Structure 1
Amino acid sequence: MLRFTTSRAMGFAVALTLGAVATASAQQDTTRSAPRRSRSQLPIRKEQPATPSTETTPSSSSSSSTSSSTYTMPARDTVLVGRSDTTVVMCNCATTQSASTGEVLPLIPARIQRFFGNGLSLGLAAGSVHPVGDAMQSYNPGWGINVPLTWDPPHSPLGARLVAAYTEFNSASSVGVADATQWSLGGDLKFRVPFGRFLKATSGAYLVGGGAVHHFTNYNRSIFLTNNLYNTKYSSPALNAQVAAAAQSQSSSNTSLGTHAGLGLSLGVGPAELFGEARYTRVYTPGKAVNYIPIMAGVSFH
């Protein structure tokens, strides 16, 4: 009986020991199966120096903090051109000239952008045309259009220009005389006298003078008649009949030379220039000259 009891007790002790060992092994396996935190996922704080750098490094999405000192990179159109012991100086590349070592140039204001940039300008003007002298007896004020191509050297008051023009004189005669129309192409010398600056562009007064080629498109029905005093206060019925008969043999067009001189005023507005001018013009047509004054206002673009 004692041997049976002892055997039973020893078996119970062995069972308890095995159970404890199994429980400890299970707990150890559970501990080992838990995921370990990777060192790469740990937040790292590192003090960054405030020294500027011309290279940019993309930030990592896994970082949870930024550096304690933040430096904003320059804008895309600026670069670092120099620095002192404590200050970083930035200049606009588009307006900064090259500097020697240790020297920083100041910012230069951008110049006005111009279409040509070498003194050339193209314009358009319109206005009234006033006959003078004997032409006043035959024509009322008309109108005209000018297209000037001008060259004004930046460092000289002397310039030159070409002017293409269309001019129309309104007939003052009730019968027999048509409106006079002409095309002309002239060349001028120009003398400028600047007197100030308006919106960063040169303004001033100027003088012009030169010559031109004038082409009349209905010469025999207009200029030929009026040059021979047709239907004016100086004519008579007999003279009118004689002039009308002679006009039948005349060409419908005539080309004559002329001269002119005048003055103008210009007002610069950025790359453009507003101007107004008046010129005394004399065209040497057969018989006698035709005289008139065009008064024009317009704009030109440099």
Structure 2
Amino acid sequence: MNEETTNLLQRILSIEQDIRDHLDRLGKKRFKWLSPEDPVRIKNLEKIAGHLHSVLNFLESQDDKPCFTEQKTKTLCLILEQMQKPCCISSNDAWEFADMLEIELIRLGDPVNIFMLLKAQQKADITDPHRWEKHFQGRDLDTLIDSYSCGKFDNCQHLLEARRFLEHLRQEQISEYRRDRAKAQLRGIYLGRMALMLALILPLLSYFYIAATWKDNLAYLLLVVLLSGAAGSILSHAFKLGKQPLHTEANDKTREQPLGIRSLISEWKVFIAQLVIGATSALVLFLIFKAGLLQIGGMKELGPEAYALIAFLAGFSEVYFIGILEKVGGNTGSSLR
């Protein structure tokens, strides 16, 4: 083992120990409930420490055979350089480092480890979106597996090909995880904004509802209607956004369409427009019932609470709004179609 490899092993061992010391300090911290740690970050730091330990094992077992000439450690050194201070590693960076080290394990793994990964691909679940057949031809996998015997591949080229195939599969999976994290963060931001909008609307709605009840003022009643329609639109959008999965399984055709990055980026502008649309729908139904074109339970005059509920439903449900308009169209001898 040359001096460069020895120094690299010492660096890996030092960083692994620093990470484990950091995790140990987190575990011993008092009053954890005052400042809880991100469990995902902790999980990925533990994963990083485990991967570094595996890298140590692979590097120590390497020799100077030709098959190892393609195993570069430059990318590993770059990753180690960014992990000098475990306490400064963010949750997202911890996830990235854990994924990058998995790639390094494929690049540095011995033939036995590579063979085991290939065999795992051979037995992958048919519903796995990242199984071998989704990206490559099955006969390539069979060729690589058949080229392995007695703890080694029959030539260095097959070992190199196996590494590159497995690395590509893992990179595809990592890319999907990145997209899912971005989608989850965007959805969280939008749901937070919706909650803030509701927190602003509800006190105003309550105030104007009380004022409309006491003073019988049409202006206050109109404000109740508009705010109720906007609140219904927000809730409808929040429910829809919350139900949509980040991705769908290959054999699942019944679930909602998955969220897309581009649609989420444009979601906020659509949401602002829907507030106005919800308020407008509420106003239209208010005018319909106020004019007596439709009645509920034979009542000619409705109270503020009834108008508020109708307005909320108008903003919440497009089907409800269109259904009311169709009834009005039928009563007037015309049709919306």
TM-score (norm 2): 0.18
Pick the structure with greater CA Rg: 1
Which structure shows the higher helix fraction? 2
**TM-score, normalised on structure 1?**
0.19
